[in-house]
Amino acid sequence: MRVMVVWCPDWSVVAALDEADRSLRSPAAVLSGNVVEVCNGPARAEGVRRGQRRRDAQARCPELVLLPANADRDARAFEPVLAIVEELRPGVAALRPGLLAVRAPGSWYGTETAAAATACQALVEGGIWDVRFGIADDLFTAEQAARTADVQSWTVVPEGGSAAFLRGLPVHVLQDGGAQGRDLVGLLQRLGLRTLGDLADLPGDAVEHRLGTYGAEVRRRARGEDRALFAARTPPPELDAEVSFEPPLDSVEAITFSVRTTAERFVSQLARHQLVATAVRVEAESDGIVCSSRAWLHPRHFGARDLVDRVHWQLQSAGTTSGPGGALRGRKQSGSVRAPIDRVRFVPEVVEPAAAHGEALWGGAGDDLVERGVARVQGMVGFDAVRRPVLQGGRSPAARQSLVPWGERAVDLRPVDRPWPGRVPGPAPVRVFAAPPVAEVVDDAGREVSVTDRGVVSGEPRRFRVEGAGDGPRLTWQPVTAWAGPWPTDEGWWSGGSGPSARFQVVGADGRAWLLLRAPEGWSLEAGYD
């Protein structure tokens, strides 16, 4: 079996630049843990190398574009490449984002060179400019052949010529095997082995005894005897569902009523594949142009009713984004749209196994009733007007709260599992004041208690009072029976923040506990533990 490998160099950088809408000619690097994981050609020309620390890379190239690592983004961006090759030769295997393998389709296209040229042309027409091909008897040799090819070109290793082709390659080509491969390369170089031919000439028993099973497998690869196989993926099913209107409809209610059957069909075809959708994009077209498009998230998974509600909210929302046709721009909330809609499409963006979202033993009728009731309220007051609180990372009780629309999954939240130095330990307060009232805290001598820049308290809190606290502490002075703190913080100092502050937990004579904040402008009451 002959193998064809398609390699798109620096794919993580290509995908990240495309997502950030930056030029592919910009010097860029993808960072993981402040270390360069992948860099592109313009960055390498300036001296940036994989494994460099962020500061060293920026010193070599001050205009370097730094991008975060994201394996999911890389895989999504590589999906069109897989689809293009799959149309020419079914049985594609995605080895990793930027690298795929397929059985060489030489007999169909006449020669293997013609097959590589056809695939190269299809990928270039699809917008993939830096693509390289390698064809050989085994997977490892085909990958190395692709890495020696020029841009939009290919290297074909003749049948039976793998060992001769690999002999002259340096041993550092084995570094792509991860940490184990890098360690092996370092050992081989210390032993004086510079090429794969040097490794291939060693006795097999001696290599296995000295380098173990992994070393013996690498030696077989260097001899052109790679035993690795690849499993061809099954093409993903078409899960989109759409409905066309003839004539086009200009009433939101009519459109909503007409998409019910399509929503049910969409959910049913997912169920046939034992899948559910947790993120769905709803697209509305007017005169062949997408005039409204929005991705909706669901905390569990979408049902037909949920999809119908999303269509209604999206078309009736005053903030609907407009496409090139401008059909919905500036439209007020009403029962009609500015331009007639001739097509509505449901596109699943995230699907998960249905088994992971099974109902409880006694069903979920109660949850369904709650969701339907809230959906009716959202239909009257607007989707974004009904919100639920979620927990996120932060130092103050107010910063740890976030509100998201009901029925929408919480995204872009600060991680809870970070250390957050200066955060007040649990338990969390029961009430958090939206507008913290002004407070006063004094020591035994009646002087206001303050905190230095180093977190030193000027005196023990003995009495406190709060102005305009409603049902909070009384306006009169109240003795402090116990206190804890301070928990100092200095947030936003790099952007002109409020300056250093500190939080205290105090317990009054009535037994109620409060969280007080000492900021540069004075004391305030943040939360209560009653």
Q: For residue 475, what pLDDT is reported?
A: 61
In terms of domains, do 152 and 32 share one? yes
List the beta strands (DSSP E) in 127-167. Answer: 132-136, 153-156
Q: Which of 378, 400, 416 is the last residue of a domain?
A: 378
Angle, in degrees to the nearest 10, between helices 365-381 and 304-316: 10
Q: What sign for the dihedral angle of Cα 299, 303, 308, 309? A: negative
In this prediction, residue 481 carries a pLDDT of: 87
Task: Confirm whether 253 is domain-assigned.
Answer: yes
pLDDT at 318: 39
Upstream peptide bond of 500 is cis (omega within 30 degrees of 0): no
Contact between 64 and 26 under an 8 Å Cβ cutoff? The reply is: no
Structural domain range at position 505: 431-528
Q: Is residue 104 part of a domain?
A: yes
Q: What CATH number does the domain containing 172 carry?
A: 1.10.150.20
Q: Are residues 141 and 174 in the same domain?
A: no
CATH number of the domain encompassing residue 68: 3.40.1170.60
378, 403, 419: which is the final residue of a domain? 378
> Do 323 and 446 lie in a common domain?
no
* Total domains present in the chain: 4
**Domain identity same for 150 and 259:** no
Residue 442 forms beta bridges with which residues? 448, 463
Q: In terms of domains, do 258 and 357 share one? A: yes
Q: 255 with 367, same domain?
A: yes
Are 147 and 195 in a shared domain? Answer: no
Same domain, residue pair 166 and 149: no
Q: What is the pLDDT of residue 329?
A: 34
Within this chain, do residues 345 and 450 fall inside the same structural domain, yes or no?
no
Number of Cβ atoms within 10 Å of the Cβ of 36: 21
Indicate left, alpha or beta for 468 from its phi (over 0: left) and psi (-120 to 50: alpha).
left
Buried b (16+ CB within 10 A) or exposed e, 222-241: bbbbbeeebeeeeeeeebeb
pLDDT for 53 equals 92
Whether residue 85 lies inside any domain: the answer is: yes
Domain assignment present for residue 408? The answer is no
Show which of 107, 123, 156 is a domain's final residue.
156
Contacts with 80 (C-beta within 8 Å, 6 or more apart), sequence order: 126
Candidates 350, 314, 301, 325; CA nearest to 75 is: 350
Give mean pLDDT in consecutive 10-residue pieces for the chain, a chain of 530 residues.
89 91 89 89 90 91 91 90 88 89 80 90 90 91 91 90 89 77 85 88 87 86 82 76 89 90 92 88 88 84 88 70 37 59 91 72 55 68 74 79 74 78 80 84 86 83 77 70 85 65 86 86 84
Regarding whether 198 and 111 lie in a shared domain, the answer is: no
Kindly state whether residue 384 falls inside one of the protein's structural domains: no
pTM, full prediction: 0.53
The domain spanning residue 266 has which CATH number? 3.30.1490.100
Looking at the structure, do residues 107 and 180 belong to the same domain, yes or no?
Answer: no
- Please give the pLDDT value at position 463: 87
Asked whether residue 245 is assigned to any structural domain, the reply reads yes
Residues 140 and 61 in one domain: yes
- pLDDT at residue 300 in the model: 80
The answer to whether position 395 is within a domain reads no
**Predicted local distance difference test score (pLDDT) of residue 283:** 92
Assigned domain for 347 exists: yes
**CA 480/CA 509 separation, integer angstroms:** 6
